[in-house]
Amino acid sequence: MNKLYIFSVCTAIAFTIAGCSTATIKPNYTSTNPDVMRIGGDKPSDKEPEIANMGSYCLQITEKWKIDGKTPDGQTIWSKDSLRKAVPCP
């Protein structure tokens, strides 16, 4: 009984080591909406502020890209901040 137990433990350890040594799957980072988040590369260009007429008031909309961290494999995560401010209509 003792030999069977030791054999089972050694077999489990061998399978665990063999499983950990196989090639890992390369992660695929994608976004369903690349207009608000991008992975890797250089910083996307910021748009100039635009003014939207909302009827009785206007909004100044400013969109800026910022670094929002890194992926486990070291790629930069870029996310877009959208700032809105009420302004007088031109």
Q: Where are the domains of the chain?
A: 2-87
pTM (two decimals): 0.57
Distance in angstroms (rounded) separating the CA atoms of residues 55 and 44: 32
Q: How far out from the chain centre does Cα 8 lie?
A: 42
Indicate the pairing of strand 50-53 with strand 37-39: unpaired
Tell me the sheet residues that pair with 79: 37, 66
Which strand (E) or helix (H) includes residue 60? Answer: strand 58-70
Band the pLDDT of 27: cuts 50, 70, 90: low
Contact 55, 24 (CB under 8 A): no
Band the pLDDT of 84: cuts 50, 70, 90: very high
| Residues of the chain above pLDDT 70, percent | 83
